[in-house]
C-alpha cells in the first residue's frame, strides 16, 4: 500500500522542482524523501530544513509526525495565505548524528498578501531511538 504522504501517491500533488530549504538540491532528492517517510533526518539541522520545507509545501502530516509527542498539538493547521520564500540557518548547537539534543537558530521569510515578513526562532530538538524530533521554540 503506498504511503499517503508520498507525493508519488497523488499524481496531482504540486511539488517544487528545487527544494524549498534552499539546499541547492532537487526536492525529490532533499526533503521529499523525508516527507514521504522513505528516510529520516540524520541531524537536527536537517530536520529543521525538512520542517521548513513541509511548511512551504503544505505537509501538515510531516510536521505533526516530526514533532515530539510530549509537545505535539492534537491538531495543527497551516495558514494557506503564507508563502514561505527563504530559510537562513544562523546557528546550530549539537544536533549531530551522535548527539541526543540539538538547537537550531534560524530565520524563515514569507509573504502574506504582498507583505513580506520574517520569523526568527531558536528551536530545540531531541533524538529518540535514532530519530530526530522538534520539541519547541523560542520565538
Between 4 and 130, whose confidence is greater? 130
CA–CA distances in Å: residue 77 to residues 3, 23, 63, 73, 114: 21, 26, 10, 10, 21
pLDDT 10s digits, 15-66: 789 999 999 999 999 999 999 999 999 999 999 999 999 999 999 999 999 9
Domains of the chain: total: 1
**What's the confidence (pLDDT) of residue 9?**
45
Range of the domain at 86: 7-138
Which CATH number goes with the domain that contains 28? 3.10.450.50
pLDDT 10s digits, 80-94: 999 999 999 999 999
Q: Name the average pLDDT for the chain.
A: 91
Q: Cα separation of 126 and 55, whole Å?
A: 20
Q: Cα separation of 5 and 71, whole Å?
A: 22
Q: Looking at the domain assignment, is residue 1 inside a domain?
A: no
Q: Looking at the domain assignment, is residue 2 inside a domain?
A: no
CB within 8 Å of 135: residues ≥ 6 apart: 68, 70, 71, 123, 124, 125, 126
pTM of the model: 0.88
Amino acid at each position: 500500500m503506498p504511503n499517503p504522504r508520498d507525493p508519488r501517491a497523488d499524481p496531482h500533488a504540486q511539488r517544487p522542482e528545487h527544494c524549498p530549504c534552499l539546499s541547492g538540491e532537487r526536492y525529490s532528492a532533499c526533503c521529499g524523501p523525508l516527507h514521504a517517510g522513505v528516510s529520516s533526518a540524520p541531524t537536527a539541522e536537517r530536520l529543521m530544513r525538512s520542517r521548513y520545507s513541509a511548511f512551504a509545501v503544505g505537509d501538515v502530516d510531516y510536521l505533526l509526525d516530526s514533532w515530539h509527542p510530549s509537545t505535539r498539538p492534537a491538531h495543527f493547521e497551516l495558514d494557506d495565505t503564507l508563502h514561505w520564500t527563504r530559510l537562513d540557518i544562523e546557528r546550530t548547537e549539537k544536533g549531530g548524528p551522535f548527539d541526543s539534543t540539538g538547537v537550531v537558530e534560524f530565520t524563515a521569510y514569507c509573504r502574506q498578501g504582498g507583505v513580506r515578513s520574517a520569523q526568527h526562532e531558536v528551536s530545540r530538538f531531541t533524538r529518540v531511538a535514532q530519530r530526530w524530533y522538534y520539541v519547541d521554540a523560542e520565538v
